Structure 1
Amino acid sequence: MTSGVVDAQAIDLCAVQRQVDAVLESFLAEKVRAAAGRGHPPEVVETVRDFLAAGGKRIRALLCVVGWHASGGHGDVTSAVRVAASLELFVAFALIHDDIMDDSASRRGRPAVHRVMRARLGGGERAERLGAGGALLVGNLALMWAQELLHTAPIESGRQRLVHGLYDAMLEEVMYGQYLDVMGTGRGADDVEAALRIIRYKTATATIERPLQLGAAVAGADDATMEVFTGLGLPLGEAFQLRDDLLDVFGSPDGACAPGLSDLREGKRTVLLALGLQNADLVQRARLDRLVGRADLEERDAAEIRDILFATGAREETERMITSRYEHVLRVLDGAGFPPSADRALRGLAVKATQYTS
């Protein structure tokens, strides 16, 4: 690990985000030209472009570049930025597919991709099926383009195998996590450990641990640094998802994120719900069993669910779990010996991840 390095200059995360967005725009502009030249449907690239432009904090991309800095990366940051941009296309793939499987109505304040495609085809069952199929293919292309960006990054030859191996591991972990999420919905909903297992596979590794390790691998990090990124990445990734689950049900106190219905209608297997079911009395449990997972759930019923999750202490316990994981991350950073600029950036991103609102 890097230690004792005098590094007073802060990492400009806004500049990093602009660099990542510039790589994505240049890459997709070339895809637009290629599609036009070959007679491919132009709306495919535009759909991915629009999805990326709709928002998101680019937290995975930022962590990748900060991981590069933390691991002694110096000089030209092009390779790390290109790998970071690849992660954003990977996220687009994962979210587009996730919305299909959940039949989510919206993403980042806009209609979900499969809903957009369904609308293009008109109404009816056929349009619904074909819209989902079209979105599935758009998501597949986003994944293929993510891999293309990764494989064309100018990574030193001795480091390519590790970088590609970490990326492949991330893909596999997310697929297993998504499988557990889909197949486990509605079953064993009061099992906190099962819910945490889904988080670790589906979110914690791909959101925090692997992006940090990918940046570190590009910089040529040692095994000790990789272990540190696992030590802080997994608990921070869990806290990230726990916060996201709370925001989906309760919204944020400042009103920036409104309470939603999607997780409750889906019956999503969250730690929050598992804690509520575990702590509920017979009457509360019966109401949760009756209401959670109903596709026609109305706001009045959602308010009752929220009241039960609050009364059983599930909301408070989830907040405690977030706090304990965040504090663990700070302890790991205290002993990591990263350059001051990388340390500050990681602490700031830890706050951003645990207060994530979109």
Structure 2
Amino acid sequence: MRCWMIGTMAVVLLTAACGRQDAGPTPETTDVAPTTTTPSAVPESPTLAAIKRRGRLNCGVHQGLVGFAYTDNRGQWRGFDVDFCRATAAAVLGDANAVRFVPLSASDRFAALNDGRIDVLWRNSSWTMSRDAGEGFVFAGINYYDGQGFLVRRSLNLNSATELNGARVCVQSGSTSQVNAADYFRSRGIEYRPVVFETEEAARDAYGREDCDAFSADISALAAARTVLTSPNEHVILSDVASKEPLGPVVKAGDERWASTVRWTLNALMLAEELGVTKASVEEQSKAATDPRVRRLLGAEGEFGPMLGLSNAWAKDAVGAVGNYGEIFERNLGSQSALDLARGLNAQWNARPAGLIYGLPIR
């Protein structure tokens, strides 16, 4: 009996083994069906839909900062950030003039995003962790690498901000400038007296009246402030850089596709400079270019515009409206402007000397 049972078990085991061999390995299964991403599968941006319905982009800008956002003697908006507003309108609506500029103070700029008064904030705003992670805004990129500095009178014969021991320093309240100045002096054990004002303009005017010994703000803002002071040559920006200030466009959280639209408009302008596409040449290059990178940028190849809910001419329209990144910089901040700022960190990544401007690839 025992021998019969052993024999029977052997037959069963052998049969099971043969069955497994014939069936092969059992394939792994997943509960998630494979999907493919296509432009039509991406949810439509409610912000973009609203812009198209009203036929206008609502763009938040500085109330008045030479070089960045200001009105000329004819009441027309001009400046670095203003040109990015126009480029965004051209990309989205095909019309660079379809923009309503909304001047905003530092204290109400983010509230304007939250309550829907503006679609995008193109105003010198620093990308910080508290604004990004804490307050939940989405920075779509960096269009200007800045840092905080100190403006003083030449007559003081100062070589460094470390010589401002006991000095009165004008700063704007509730801004990164106020915090950065405190950090700078505290970390060096230097006593100073902050003179705080609600707006940057008020701080600048107080400095002009000699109510303080130094004015601290972003270096680009100091350069702009100096141009409107009496006898600009009597003032100097010290070489000290007290902080990193990555400035860029901001949108409200919850509409990632709209954030992508703003992000890729900025990158298209950066790529245009890198690839040699200018305002004057964009039309011809869109027809005659053989470089696949240029062809993709200008919509002659591929279907990249529809990924954003835009036409294939979105980037071509943006560059055709305001020029590439380098043209925008030179016209408003560089050698063609009153500020005459060097490119510095805002040079292209492959320039000599190299900067930090690096357009993401369109492919």
TM range (shorter): under 0.3
More strand by share: 2
TM-score w.r.t. structure 2 length? 0.26
Larger relative contact order, structure 1 or 2 (CA cutoff 8 Å, min sep 6)? 1
More helix by share: 1
